[in-house]
Structure 1
């Protein structure tokens, strides 16, 4: 195929076909992951918690630590840690 409007048709087709193959592989991998989660759930694991753990494992240690500290701070501010919530006038 020749250039059409300055676009190399063969090269474009090659890119499109490669992307289509990768999308097929991605769908297969997503299905495989779904099956692993279903297997884990069948063995009594909480899939929502597993997803949270996966997200945390992807984070840098400093980012994870900062997020955990903020979560604890917010929970304390809302009285979710067993202690009474702070007085809104304290700020």
Structure 2
């Protein structure tokens, strides 16, 4: 029994064009195999990215409020803190 490599060597000589076409077909087949292998579906990827963005925003606000604002980091999660920040941004004066 001969394998494909010895069979190719004993057959008629190929042209460069035929070799190029064969190489492209082999690359296309290998790329198809790789593209079908997905560990996480696209919907889960998007969900994970959105969750990571929310975590980064909350942790950044907590660090910024506690370090630069010299307050408690947990105060960032309170609604009253955000109302006060938006009042300052909108120019509402506290009485």
Normalization by structure 1: what TM-score? 0.35
Which has a greater percent of strand?
Answer: 1
Higher relative contact order (CA 8 A, sep 6+): 2
Q: Which has the larger radius of gyration?
A: 2
Normalization by structure 2: what TM-score? 0.34
